[in-house]
Amino acid sequence: MSRAITRQVALLLALLLALFTLGCTDTPDADLRITVIDVGQGDATLLSQAGRHMLIDTGSAYAADALLRELEANGVKKLDLLVLTHPHEDHVGNARRLLMELEVETLVVPTDIAVDFGYDLVLATARERCDDLRVVCAGDEIVLGDARCTVLYAQVNAEDWNDASIVLRVEYGETALLFMGDAGAKIEAELLRKMPQLLDCDFLRVGHHGSEDATTGAFLSAATPTLAAVGCGEQNTYGFPHAAVLENLDVMGVRVWRTDLDGTVVFISDGENIRFHSKSKGA
Ligand SMILES: [Zn+2]
């Protein structure tokens, strides 16, 4: 080979290598990745798209290690959005720690009432460290990369804080996902009355850990998900998920994953379909 040709081949190889490296590091993942994190008895779901991350709930303080491990495994150094559906410990237990240890751009909550000392600390820390603290209500929109999220419900004050829960509809391309927080049958009935078409989804994060005070047959008839996930602890004292809810889901032909049996479960939406990807426990 002449020296000129050798040089050209070397140049071409260097160019190919540069393109390959660029492809590996700079091309963001276009799919929407949904990681239902096993935090024992509690809820935490990570949504990632195009290098942006939104965490919906944080699980209880006792599950901090499991949560942080999962965030690290997903390459999360910054949360664009942290959504706390309502101020109960099994949803906000690690919020302050995340606010202290990670960059959290926007904290999204249903209420800024200091429900208890722990929640008051979360709000105070967010005011110090976040760019934005948003108290949302029905109709508000949140953007995560190419995913559009609509708040279907949120209550600034409630007798039962479960019923303050932010209910979030996430649309990515043709696919729709519904996150119910701990909203009960009363809220489901209100949503059925006001906006049944917005309940229609492909994926359901089952409300209140599969408690029988939520996920009614009427609600599921409007939602018609094909996939669902329940966040609950192994042999939890509440008996979640309740048999009546599993039966309602079964009657509708919904495929259900549970963090107590399946561990952390990952789903992927490519904008046309949403599919189960992997789980950390069980066969
Ligand atoms: Zn809960």
Cβ < 5 A residues, ion ligand 1: 90, 182
Q: How far apart are the first and last CA of the chain?
A: 56
Tens digit of each residue's pLDDT (9 = 90 or more) over 55-100: 999 999 999 999 999 999 999 999 999 999 999 999 999 999 999 9
If you measure from the C-alpha of residue 43 to the centroid of ligand 1, how many angstroms do you get, rounded to a whole number? Answer: 7
Tens digit of each residue's pLDDT (9 = 90 or more) over 148-166: 999 999 999 999 999 999 9
If you measure from the C-alpha of residue 87 to the centroid of ligand 1, how many angstroms do you get, rounded to a whole number? Answer: 9
Helix (H, G, I), strand (E, B) or coil at 52: strand
If you measure from the C-alpha of residue 119 to the centroid of ligand 1, how many angstroms do you get, rounded to a whole number? Answer: 15
Measured CA to CA, the distance from residue 275 to residue 270 in angstroms comes to 9
Query: CATH number for the 31-279 domain, one of 3.60.15.10, 3.40.50.1000, 3.40.50.2020, 3.40.50.720?
Result: 3.60.15.10
If you measure from the C-alpha of residue 275 to the centroid of ligand 1, how many angstroms do you get, rounded to a whole number? Answer: 25
CB atoms within 10 A of CB 153: 25
Alpha helix stretches (DSSP H) within the chain: 3-26, 64-73, 89-92, 95-101, 117-129, 185-194, 217-223, 243-251, 259-262
Tens digit of each residue's pLDDT (9 = 90 or more) over 177-205: 999 999 999 999 999 999 999 999 999 99
pTM of the model: 0.90
If you measure from the C-alpha of residue 130 to the centroid of ligand 1, how many angstroms do you get, rounded to a whole number? Answer: 24
If you measure from the C-alpha of residue 90 to the centroid of ligand 1, how many angstroms do you get, rounded to a whole number? Answer: 5
Torsion of CA 103, 106, 107, 111, to 10 degrees: 160
Per-chain mean pLDDT for the chain: 92
Tens digit of each residue's pLDDT (9 = 90 or more) over 18-27: 444 444 433 4
Token couple for 197: 């078409």
If you measure from the C-alpha of residue 175 to the centroid of ligand 1, how many angstroms do you get, rounded to a whole number? Answer: 26
If you measure from the C-alpha of residue 38 to the centroid of ligand 1, how many angstroms do you get, rounded to a whole number? Answer: 13
If you measure from the C-alpha of residue 236 to the centroid of ligand 1, how many angstroms do you get, rounded to a whole number? Answer: 12
Token couple for 251: 């009657």
Q: Is 77 in contact with 171 (CB distance < 8 Å)?
A: no
Domain ranges of the chain: 1-28, 31-279
If you measure from the C-alpha of residue 60 to the centroid of ligand 1, how many angstroms do you get, rounded to a whole number? Answer: 9
If you measure from the C-alpha of residue 1 to the centroid of ligand 1, how many angstroms do you get, rounded to a whole number? Answer: 70
Please, which pLDDT band fits residue 138 given cuts at 50, 70 and 90? very high
